[in-house]
Amino acid sequence: MTSLAEDGARGAARGRLLWLALVISLALNAFVVGTLVWWVAADRMTTPAQRFQQIVRELGLNDDQRDAFQQFVVEMRRNTRQLRDNNEPLVQKVWNEMGEAQPDRDLIGHLVDQATENRRAYQKSMADALTRFLANLSAEQRSAFINLTKRRQDPAAAHLRRLVVP
């Protein structure tokens, strides 16, 4: 009888952990959607090309550095799109499974783990891409880039933060 109670307690704890992981994942997805909505609303006055040129001017990038920045932006967009394409079906499967009368908690946990691993791989690849870009800058430009990403009142800096901090 005692082992049954212990198994039940372990199962309940595992279930709570899975639900917690799912809630965190869903909250992160809601944050991403909210950020996207804010980004679209905030960027209506300037085009992406104009924001790109403003960043290039502020950093004083030469042609090679500008090419490296453009490569970083292209890679960031590609990786972001790939993350979204990989995780959207997983999130949909989680919702579908949660809608079942008897949801498979192990499947939900596996899907959440898979989405989390996709996000982790994305963050690592973006850190690598940003590091490669920053290697093309002088110490002063790297410092200016970091300061530019921290300026909240500047729309170009806000856009750059969205590019750099996914």
Question: Percent of the chain at pLDDT above 90?
Answer: 46
> Where along the chain do its domains lie?
2-164
Per-residue pLDDT of 34-47, as tens digits, reads 776 666 665 556 67
Q: Is the pLDDT of residue 90 over 80?
A: yes
State the pTM of this model: 0.59
Per-residue pLDDT of 4-28, as tens digits, reads 556 666 667 777 888 888 888 877 7
Report the chain's terminal Cα–Cα distance, integer Å: 50
Per-residue pLDDT of 97-108, as tens digits, reads 999 999 999 999
Distance between CA atoms of residues 65 and 52, nearest Å: 13
Q: Give residue for tokens 């799109």.
A: 81
